[in-house]
Chains A and B, each alone.
Chain A
């Protein structure tokens, strides 16, 4: 798990970020927080839950948790089930 991105660092600003999201390798331009990722994926933050490297990310912290290259994420929601 990364720390909050330092917006003053130009290297971080332009870094390419390779993440695994729901089992798929994906490339993003960094820096990126969990909130930023959810938004870029076009998802509604209120309807999903996020696990980062097998740890739950509390929704209240999405904006503060920065992502690092190689991070593995699971993003889930509720579907029909018995």
Chain B
């Protein structure tokens, strides 16, 4: 079937094509070998990473790069832990030097317990990063007006939350996610909130270009198995979106012909 395989149905961001519509985080795993195995099973081509000080007391400790090769996966450095535009720009300038690329994930969060995107700070940081030559994929609230404004500023992808980070509650406001998708000319990714494979499939059925998952895989009983499930969920959701679902009916409609019955 033409276009059936993920590789024939790529999505594009910042001039790069990705066959996999599942982007995975590399945080919260119990160890680096599990991280590597889960990412392999997910089929992801893009992974988010954080930028932190090296541990000077243990300089030979294994590094993420030794397990998740930047030659194989597109690293998407994030701004986790940054609460100001200045911190975000500084962090990503370091990431750009470490990795040598401009594609980044901007997230400026408010305080716990919501960790909700701090949108005024996000706008400020997005403006500063775009001015500095970064290609910004931006984590944001599920607000269609804010999403449109981020796109108009020059963000290369819009990434509204499905539910609070790490909550695993699934897409809580599908109406707004759908409005964001319908109004966007850049890729839209649901980032945060996916808890299990049905959540990922549901997000894709709404018409998202891709889904970003971290906790749901890393905190699953078997992360490698869940990574594979997420891959299947994303693929199923994408195919269902492309196929176009049947109309919803409020009354039953028999599946077998009502004619030609024996008498």
Contacts and interface: CB of A to CB of B under 8 A. Distances in A.
A80 B54 contact: no
Contacts, number: 104
A47 B65 contact: yes
A76 B80 contact: no
A19 B75 CA distance: 31
A48 B98 contact: yes
Given A47-B65, A49-B94, A82 B165 contact: yes
B64 A41 contact: no
Contact of A79 (B49, B96, B165, B212): B49
Interface residues of B, number: 37
B2 interface: no
**Which interface class (under 10, 10 to 19, 20 to 34, 35 or more) fits A?**
20 to 34
B54 A76 contact: yes
A76 B56 contact: no
Contact of A77 (B32, B54, B78): B54
A76 to B, nearest CB: 5
Among all A-B residue pairs, the 8 with the closest Cβ atoms: A81-B50, A82-B25, A82-B214, A49-B98, A42-B59, A80-B26, A49-B97, A80-B27
Given A51-B90, A75-B54, A81-B25, 9 more contacts: A24-B56, A41-B54, A47-B65, A56-B97, A76-B51, A78-B50, A78-B77, A80-B28, A82-B28
Interface of A: 21-24, 41-44, 47-51, 54, 56-59, 74-82
